[in-house]
Structure 1
Amino acid sequence: MIVDDPQFGPETDALLKHLADLPANPDLDPYQALLLDREDLPDPAIAGERDPRVSTEDIEIDLPGRTLQARVYRHSTRPRPVLLWLHGGGFVGGDLRDIEYATSRIAAEGNVTVVSLNYRLAPENPCPAGLQDVYDTLQWIPDHLNGDGRIAVGGQSAGGALAAGACLLARDNGVPLPDRQILCYPVLDLHPSADWHEWYFGTRDIPPGAVPLHASTLIGLPPTLLLAAQRDELRDDALAYSARLEHDGVPVELVEYADTMHAFLNFPAVLSAGRHAVELIAADLQTAFSARRS
């Protein structure tokens, strides 16, 4: 399915110009620039704001050898399905604070509890640290959150890769799989020319699940919602993964947004495609969990 709207192109052009016009500091080395970027709070004028209908709770997730930070968004005090959500940022940046419009509104409109995770980042914690964080958090959730037993996992860009990879690891390790995966413009193949590639992968062997398109088979994975953007270098990753999922018998819905950019979910205040996608994800979860309950 292709979602198109005459606003998508002009809105994307205006945002790209705005981002290009932001001041830069050429005197910083790449790592210093990365550290500063991690500390930047999102601009509500483009990132939107948290949905006031939900409550939030900052929690610590204690896993073997490390403690991770997460934020929980609840629309109800009753046990609800849990969605583990993973921000983007090229495996080296990003933060749960960047995507509060999406995570809070999905909680409200999707009638789910959303756990937004700050997984470990490269280069301090290269692959497979983040992937292991996501996999272990999926095992942690049933015993520590007031859910109703139903779980989904999803994410954006690098977060989409980690969601897909964690599902592959769960399948291969024989542990319970999430009921659904939601992959938004995910990084699913190797991209050696990308800025993050060397910091994340380096020269080490690539472990199973880290590059989902390299999996020998996708049989047995959860039903999938895949979002792609036409003006995105990663569009082919989403299209190729969708085709392989379908070939291997996994129910998949591919939704492509016309004339918009990578990371469009991060900018819902100025990109109507981002707002549409958040509503689509929420409705998808409502439908998926209603079907499973029945």
Structure 2
Amino acid sequence: MTVVDNPQFGPETDALLKHLAELPTTPDLDPYEALLLDREDLPDPAIAGEPDPRAATEDIAVELPGRTLQARVYRHAVRPRPILLWLHGGGFVGGDLRDIEYATSLIAAYGNVTVVSLNYRLAPENPCPAALQDVYDTLGWLRENLDGDGRIAIGGQSAGGALAAGACLLARDAGTPLPDRQILCYPVLDLHPGADWHEWYFGTREIPAGAVPLRAASLAGLPPTLMLAAGRDWLRDDALAYAARLAQDGVPTELVEYADTMHAFLNFPAALSAGRHAVELISADLQAAFSARRS
């Protein structure tokens, strides 16, 4: 494991947590009403950062059987490049591609890839496995409908990391083409019944294969992996355990932990230097991975 540490990380995290705790709340709303209101909030550029203007954007409709999903494409050049399918976090019940445009735009500009940021379906309106099926089906859709060069990576943050890992498991088990690389940022990979989202996402229904990646019998045959963890994250153990199992099952895996940093730090790059560092790290990782495969 590589540990990225900086004396700024702790104070920056403390300051951001204090800022978030002091934001006004609406305590009279029931949980579902509060969720709907939260989904409408736009990110604050003072903490979320701004999109990189060098990445041209295009909103597209991903047409899948029985549903249409929204996605935003970020390109730094017109010629075909590898595609990165990226999945926002939000506990399977919230989040939006607008929340992470600093990361997705800069990865497109620095990583020499075309980034497709997907708004998958959310629970409780669409519980598990709707989001997982969206991600798996979108992988196939991208190969047929977007002007890439044939190479595809997948990645995501928190819940999005779980969906990226799960889609790779589904592709492996179904014998469909796997992504060339997976990038999992502080993913939720096990069952966490005490978490706010657990009942809305999983409920009491049978949990399908791929929905809880740490419960998979084997991780052999999955794509080479970059795993990012945060030292002050309640999901840190998920990341470390999955990275260890991937390596044990023969999957080339790099684990990088950002010390004294909070969960979701990629969402707050204007406030957290760890988030800015991680975007540059992911970009360099993709450049290296695809350059190595082409050579």
1:159 is matched with 160
Q: What SS does structure 1 have at the residue aligned with 2:125?
A: coil
Structure 2, unaligned runs of 5 or more: none
2:132 is matched with 131
1:221 is matched with 222
Deviations 1:25-67 (A, max 9, x none): 1100000000000000000000000000010000000000000
Inter-partner Cα distance in structure 2 for 1:242 and 1:47:
28
Inter-partner Cα distance in structure 2 for 1:23 and 1:45:
17
Matches within 5 A, 1:243-258: 243-258=244-259
Offset at residue 143 of structure 1 (A):
1.1
Name the amino acid aligned to 2:225: T
Name the amino acid aligned to 1:197: H
Inter-partner Cα distance in structure 2 for 1:140 and 1:291:
26
Inter-partner Cα distance in structure 2 for 1:22 and 1:249:
45
Offset at residue 5 of structure 1 (A):
0.2
Deviations 1:236-273 (A, max 9, x none): 00000000001000000000000000000000001000
Name the amino acid aligned to 1:292: R
2:29 paired with 1:9: no
Matches within 5 A, 1:46-195: 46-195=47-196
Give the % identical residues: 85
Inter-partner Cα distance in structure 2 for 1:13 and 1:282:
27
Name the amino acid aligned to 2:129: P
Structure 1, unaligned runs of 5 or more: none
Inter-partner Cα distance in structure 2 for 1:129 and 1:142:
20
Off by >2 Å, runs of 4+ in structure 1: none
Inter-partner Cα distance in structure 2 for 1:31 and 1:14:
29
Deviations 1:168-191 (A, max 9, x none): 000000001000000000000000
Offset at residue 142 of structure 1 (A):
1.1
Inter-partner Cα distance in structure 2 for 1:57 and 1:252:
32
Name the amino acid aligned to 1:171: R
Instruction: Tell me the TM-score normalized by structure 1.
Output: 1.00
Q: What SS does structure 2 have at the residue aligned with 1:236?
A: helix
Inter-partner Cα distance in structure 2 for 1:148 and 1:142:
9
Inter-partner Cα distance in structure 2 for 1:192 and 1:112:
37
Name the amino acid aligned to 1:272: S
Deviations 1:179-233 (A, max 9, x none): 0000000000000000000000000000000000000000000000000000000
